Amino acid sequence: MIVNGKPTRTIWLGDNGESVEIIDQTRLPHEYIVARLDTLADAERAIFDMQVRGAPLIGATAAYGMALAMRDDASDAGLENAYKVLYATRPTAVNLRWALDDLKGLLSSLPPDQRQAAAYARAAEICDQDVEICSSLGEHGRGVIEKIWNDKGKPERINVLTHCNAGWLATVDWGTALAPVYKAHDAGIPVHIWVDETRPRNQGASLTCWELGQHGVPHTLIVDNVGGHLMQHGMVDVVITGTDRTTAAGDVCNKIGTYLKALAAFDNDVPFYVGLPGPTIDWTIKDGVRDVPIEERDPGEVTRLVGLSDDGRIETVTISPKDSPAANFAFDVTPARLVTGLITERGVAEASEEGLAALYPEHQ
Ligand code: MRU
């Protein structure tokens, strides 16, 4: 995607060929800062502190984290330790496990002196593959948006509601929920995006608005509770979100609040689509509510807000009484029955075991 007029990915290899560079997403939209990762601990911190976030980008960073770890210790013990450290960073996005299993499988079959080069090469491949996958799912999703627009008689604007950030900042490039939006916009379809602010960390307000703005896509920021009202008044044509883990039966686990949007969409006959790359499917589970581990984060993210003060300083303010306890569940599960379709790199699947199996027969 374009940042300040320049094609940019969210993660890349530095000029020395070994450091890894990322966009520090904790500083957006107020500051655009590139951070450098040199060690396993740097990669661990980047994922844990959410300098990088979004399921596919977490996977890509973990892959490079393994490569950074191999620079310091390419022994079997070093490999095990790197896997363990990175695996513990965030529990919900299954792309993390997918990337780590991939790297571990490859590296453990090689002698230690070949592991570093192989890890860097594989991490780069995973990044390139993510770009290809997201671009392709974007094409399929563009078809979904175009059909809805055509079926409605090509209105002046087609309104898409999205939650959190499932744009290019959540992947290596293109995004999942937003890839179809970029492709539709670039094809001349007049998309307008309702962006849920997405409390508590406000990834919609800070990240989705920023990246849509960089690409020139018309959008409007709304608070999290507005979607139902907009749907009742015919102001949403389609909801598209991402997912951190999709079960083999088509349940989707995404940023907290996604489920409520799906319920409102169901009640108002608004199609609810989810964009996902194949590596976000967890083929080992079916029942999302029961089996997906839900991350619980620091309650301070609920009781405090970070923003830009009128005199240009980034500040943190407290919004609740000092002694009130808070809970911070970061994800929820939307059952497959509420999902109109799963937009993947292989096409649009029905959200069901049969639908996914038809697109990914190799997992049967
Ligand atoms: O906590 P985050 O910011 O990592 O959550 C991100 C999301 O919920 C995205 O919707 C999800 O990772 C799908 S991404 C392309």
Phi, psi of 212 (to 5 degrees): -65, -40
Between CA 205 and CA 317 the distance in angstroms is 17
CA–centroid distance, 323 to ligand 1, in Å, is 30
Catalytic residue among 102, 130, 196, 244: 244
pLDDT at position 112 is 98
Read off the pLDDT of residues 222-248 as tens digits, 9 standing for 90 and up: 999 999 999 999 999 999 999 999 999
Q: Tell me, using a 6 A CB cutoff, whether residue 214 lines ligand 1.
A: no
In the three-class reduction of DSSP (H, G, I as helix; E, B as strand; rest coil), residue 62 is classed as helix
In this structure, are residues 200 and 302 in contact, taking their beta carbons and an 8 Å threshold? Answer: yes
Same fold yes or no, 2-129 and 140-363: no
Query: What's the CA-to-centroid distance between 149 and ligand 1, angstroms?
Result: 27
| CA angle centred on 30, ends 28 and 32, rounded to 5° | 60
pLDDT at position 4 is 83
Cβ–ligand 1 distance for 54 under 6 Å, the answer yes
- Closest by Cα among 243, 248, 271 to 258: 243
Nearest CA among 125, 128, 129 for reference residue 66: 125
What is the secondary structure of 103-158 as a DSSP string? HHHHHHTS-HHHHHHHHHHHHHHHHHHHHHHHHHHHHHHHHHHHHHHHHTT--S-E
* Cα 138 to middle of ligand 1, angstroms: 17
Q: Check residue 204 and report its DSSP letter.
A: I
Distance separating alpha carbons of residues 19 and 17, to the nearest angstrom: 6
Q: Are 173 and 138 in contact (CB under 8 A)?
A: no
The rounded mean pLDDT for the chain is 97
The Cα 296–Cα 161 span in angstroms is 25
* 146-186 per-position pLDDT tens digit: 999 999 999 999 999 999 999 999 999 999 999 999 999 99
| DSSP code at position 161 | E
Domain ranges of the chain: 2-129, 140-363
Cβ of 56 below 6 Å from ligand 1: yes
Does the Cβ of 244 fall within 6 Å of ligand 1? Answer: yes
Q: Poorest-confidence range of 5-9, 32-36, 159-163, 275-279?
A: 5-9
For residue 6, what pLDDT is reported?
A: 87
| pLDDT given at position 364 | 82
User: Does ligand 1 have an atom closer than 6 angstroms to the CB of 242?
Assistant: yes
Considering the four listed CATH numbers 3.40.50.10470, 3.40.50.1820, 3.40.800.10, 3.40.50.11030, the one that applies to the domain covering 140-363 is 3.40.50.10470
User: Within a 10 A sphere around the Cβ of 171, how many other Cβ atoms?
Assistant: 33
Q: For residue 331, what is the enclosing H or E element?
A: strand 331-334
Using the mean position of ligand 1's atoms as its centre, give its distance from the Cα of residue 92 in Å.
10
Protein residue with its CA nearest to atom 12 in ligand 1? 54
Class assignment of domain 2-129?
mainly alpha
